[in-house]
Amino acid sequence: MTSPLASEAAPFGRVLTAMVTPFTADGVLDLGAAQRVASHLVDHGNDGLVVSGTTGESPTTTGAEDARLLAAVLEAVGDRASVVAGVGTNDTRHSVELAQQARKAGAHGLLVVTPYYSKPPQSGIVQHVTEVSRAGEDVPVLLYDIPGRTGVQIAEPTYAELVANPLVVAVKDAVGDLERGAWLMGEVGIRLYSGDDALNFSWLALGASGVVSVVGHVAGRQYADMVAAIDAGDLHTARAINDRLLPVVRAIMTHTQGAITSKAALQLLGVIEHRTLRGPLLAATDDEVAIVRHALETAGLLTN
Of these residues, 104, 116, 144, 223, which one is catalytic? 144
Nearest 5°: CA angle at 52, between 46 and 54?
90
For the CA atoms of 125, 83, 192, 137, the dihedral, rounded to the nearest 10 degrees, stands at: 40
Of these residues, 159, 172, 223, 263, which one is catalytic? 172
Which class for 121: exposed (0-12), middle (13-18), buried (19 or more C-beta within 10 A)?
exposed
For the CA atoms of 249, 250, 251, 254, the dihedral, rounded to the nearest 10 degrees, stands at: 120
144 has catalytic annotation: yes
Nearest to 39 by CA among 272, 204, 303, 209: 272
Count of CB atoms situated within 10 Å of the CB of 231: 11
Contacts of 6 (CB under 8 A, 6+ apart): 12, 13, 82, 108, 140
Residues 145, 175: contact at Cβ < 8 Å? yes
Q: How many residues does the chain have?
A: 304
DSSP alpha helix (H) spans, the chain: 31-43, 63-77, 92-105, 122-135, 147-150, 156-162, 178-183, 200-205, 216-231, 235-253, 258-268, 286-298
Nearest to 14 by CA among 221, 243, 183: 221
**Residues β-bridged to residue 17:** 49, 213
119 has catalytic annotation: no
Active site residues: 144, 172
